[in-house]
Every structure is written in C-alpha cells, then in structure tokens.
Amino acid sequence: MTVRPIRIFGDPVLRTPADEVTDFGPQLRELVRDLEDTVRVPGRAGVAAPQIGVSLRVFSYNVGGVVGHLVNPVLSGHAGEQTEEEGCLSLPGLGYDTRRFDSVVARGFDVHGEPLVIKGTGYLARALQHETDHLDGRLYVDTLTGDVRRQALREMRRVVPR
C-alpha cells in the first residue's frame, strides 16, 4: 500500500493542465493503485494525479464507501445545482460554500483502457467535478465569486505555507 504525499497550493503542478493518458501500461496501473491507496485515507473523497505530483489526467474517488478511478475524464449531462461546503487536500484547513452541478456524467477509461461511464448525483457529482477541475489546473476556490472569493484568497495567503 502506497499513500503518496499531497502537493499543497503553490506547487506549479496544481495550476498546470494535466496531460492526456496515452499509455495504459504498467506505469498507469501503479499510478492508479497509488491514487486509490491515497484516497482510502479516512476523510478523503478524491485525489487527482497532479495532487501527488503526476501531471496526467487520472483521478481516484472514495464516495459512499466506493473507491474507483477514471482516466481521461470528460464531463457532460450537467443538471441541477447544489451549494455545499467544499474543501481540498491541497488547501488544508479551508472550506467554502461552492456551487456545483447536482448531476453529471463522467466518461473516460479504466486502468486497462476500457470505456467507463460514471453517473454521479449529489456528493459523487461534486467529487467528479472537483477532481476533473484539478486535471484542468483549477482549484475549487477558482469557482468562488465576490466577497467569498476575496475571503478565500486572504485565508489562502494566511494559512497555506508558501
């Protein structure tokens, strides 16, 4: 079991769009194993490859006791809206109400290159969106607006080590 350390805000890999996976070989299998081991730590809902320093479009999730992964995800079928507090392992100690779609469909591949479709609602939909944002070099605080965004940016400067 390999639980990899999480990269913290300020690390350039978190702000860089990840590369598409083209090789579904042993290195990808090892990466997915590490992602799934890392997301199994209690209190974690998702871990994207950039969060462990790997700039590839892969993430793992752990929602409702179900651990899985998705390679090269594309989101569609956005519907409804939810606003709940959201946090991020790469921004420790911070959490803000964040608006997300209540329902999404994530299409991609499993570790073997087989097509995979995940239909998420509620918390799973939130996790799928959050992790896909990481693969695009975005953090959940980027979705915040107005006073909440200003507050988040102040807190990030105060709390997150640089």
Q: Which residues are annotated as part of the binding site for Fe cation?
A: 88, 130, 134
Catalytic member of 20, 81, 86, 131: 131
Q: Is 36 a catalytic residue?
A: no
Alpha helices in 40-145 (DSSP H): 122-135
Three-class secondary structure assignment of the chain: CCCCCCCCCCCHHHHCCCECCCCCCHHHHHHHHHHHHHHCCCCCCEEEHHHHCCCECEEEEEECCEEEEEEEEEEEEEECCEEEEEECCCCCCCEEEEEECCEEEEEEECCCCCEEEEEEEHHHHHHHHHHHHHHCCCCHHHHCCHHHHHHHHHHHHHHCCC
Catalytically active residues are: 131
